[in-house]
Amino acid sequence: MKNKKQLSSAIITAVGILEVMPYGAVLNFARPPEEGGAIRETYSYFDLTPFGYANFGPLLTAIISLLIMIVIIVLLFTKGQKLWSLVAVLSAVGVITSLMPLMYGLEYYTAVGFAITLLLAVQFIISIWDRRKTQ
């Protein structure tokens, strides 16, 4: 059980570090018609600029990962099987919200966003793993 807590702590810390980096959330701005194409700018998941341009997924994912971090910190000091269920639910919702930029197209998704989605999916699997074995 201690290894599970340590692994979960490491994963959610890595997610937090990736979300703080300014390479996760993407906005594409149009250029004048004579130039063509688009200007691609990347932002941190915690930046409000993408949220203001209706790219809600990154900020929601950042908030959910902070909630997961708080629950895992509580788990480090307590023994609560129900809290692992909360981590599982929050991780599943985090995976869904981290995929929301794909609604606008693949050009709104980055490798950092994919890494965050992958880590949250691994967090979900870890949080349900022991519960499945004990039932």
Average pLDDT per consecutive 10 residues, the chain (135 residues; last block may be shorter): 86 96 93 86 95 94 97 89 92 97 93 96 90 48
**According to the model, what pLDDT value does residue 1 have?**
59
Distances in whole angstroms, Cα of residue 111 to Cα of each of 6, 28, 106, 118: 25, 16, 11, 10
Residue boundaries of the structural domains of the chain: 2-130
Q: Tokens 């639910």 identify what position?
A: 89
Q: Establish how many alpha carbons lie within 13 A of residue 95's alpha carbon, considering only the half-sphere containing its beta carbon.
A: 13
- State residue 74's pLDDT score: 94
Q: What is the pLDDT of residue 135?
A: 44
The set of residues, in sequence order, having a beta carbon less than 8 Å from that of 24 and lying 6+ positions away, is 18, 42, 43, 44, 45, 58, 110, 112, 113, 116
